[in-house]
Amino acid sequence: FDRELTPSQLRNIATLTDLKVLDRTQLILDIFAQHAKSREGKLQVELAQLRYRMPRLAIMPTAMSRLTGGIGGRGPGETKLEMNRRRAQERLTKLERQLKKLSANRALRRRQRQKKGLPVCAIVGYTNAGKSTLLNSLTNSKVDVADKLFATLDPTSRRFRFPREREIIVTDTVGFIHNLPKTLIKAFKATLEELSDADLLLHVLDASDPQVDRHRGAVDRILTDLSLDDKQVLLVWNKADRTDPEILRALTDEHGGLAICAIDRMGLDTLLERMERGLFRTSFGSLDPNGQEPVVAIDRSLG
């Protein structure tokens, strides 16, 4: 089901069909569970799973047996669906406490970065738009890249130096989707807080996707929900090599931004110039009169 079902709907459908019932939210949570790698990521997914399941614990046991853990088996730290409300609440409270500590540590690292006075550029966008590929191309790093949904759950930050020796921090974030489940937004609140300190958002879009306008709108709505709609945003139309030139021209003419291909670095020089202008709010010409000045990138995790 491409929507979140109510507990009663889940119970009735499971009883009538005698089949495993999987709604959109549970499917997304299963995928997240399979991709979570860090301790924080696993805790965030488990918290979202618990918040989703708690209202459904009252479903009759016969129906509960059909509401299994999804298509991917048990997620990290997944609780049994037969868990009673008291045990579920105890686990939820413990998860929130652990994530609060991790969030405090993350906030401390952000304050330390702020003391260094380094501008922050965060990469956002719809899932599978090419955000991690762009981070790799910009910083010559080797962040895991996969042609699949929600490949990135944990934010990854790298230091980057422009040709003029100006240094910034570039952060890759979790991919968004339309109607992002509220349980996920709440669970990943600490991770999404990384965006609050960004001086510039690179909104990466897959220009070759027929639904790119819908994806752009979905990301814009989530940024608004997170009170980030006042941030400086640069639209980056990725995968230009797969996109009809007329369509690409129409997108940039209507919405602005610039076209690139992150995987082969096409258009990155122009992107770097726009980034530097936005982050340092200065006006200058091309990066180099001959267009030959190399970009110096530092592949160094910020922890």
Closest CA to 140 of 159, 125, 122: 159
Strand runs labelled E in the chain = 120-125, 156-161, 167-172, 200-206, 233-238, 258-259, 296-301
What distance in Å separates the CA atoms of residue 22 and residue 178, rounded to the nearest whole number? 18
At 87-113, the pLDDT tens digits run 888 999 999 999 889 888 878 887 877
Q: What would the two tokens of residue 285 be?
A: 């010409």
Selected from 3.40.50.2300, 3.40.720.10, 3.40.50.300, 1.10.1740.10, the CATH number assigned to the domain covering 118-301 reads 3.40.50.300
The domain limits of the chain are 7-96, 118-301
CA 159 remoteness from chain centre: 19
State how beta strands 258-259 and 233-238 pair: parallel
- Of the two residues 250 and 41, the one the predictor is more confident about is 250
Beta strand residue intervals within 154-288, DSSP E? 156-161, 167-172, 200-206, 233-238, 258-259
What tens digit of pLDDT does each residue of 113-169 get?
777 888 999 999 998 899 989 998 988 866 554 444 444 556 778 888 887 778 899
* Global pTM value: 0.76
Q: What is the pLDDT of residue 84?
A: 63
Q: What are phi and psi of 115, to 5 degrees?
A: -65, -30
Cβ contacts of 164 within 8 Å, gap of 6 or more: 276
pLDDT-derived band at 245 (thresholds 50, 70, 90) equals: very high
Average of per-residue pLDDT across 29-52: 84
Q: For 35-48, what is the mean pLDDT?
A: 84
Instruction: Judge whether residue 264 has pLDDT over 70.
Output: yes
What per-residue confidence (pLDDT) applies to 279? 92
**Of 291 and 11, which is predicted with more confidence?**
11
If you average pLDDT over each of 16-25, 57-66, 218-227, which comes out highest? 218-227
C-alpha to C-alpha distances, 157 to 12, 160, 200, nearest whole angstrom = 46, 10, 14
- By the 8 A CB rule, do 52 and 181 touch? yes
pLDDT at 144: 54
Paired residues of 261 in beta bridges: 266
- 62-91 pLDDT, tens digit per residue, is 444 444 444 455 555 544 445 467 788 899
What would the pLDDT profile of 225-242 be if each residue is shown by its tens digit? Answer: 888 889 999 999 999 999
Token pair listed for 284? 């200058």
Percentage of the chain beyond pLDDT 70 is 76
**Which of left, alpha, beta for 256 (phi over 0: left; psi -120 to 50: alpha)?**
left
| Mean pLDDT score of the chain | 78
pLDDT of residue 127: 86
Determine the Cα–Cα distance for residues 285 and 287; give it in Å rounded to an integer: 7
Closest among 219, 140, 239, 113 to 173, alpha carbons compared: 219
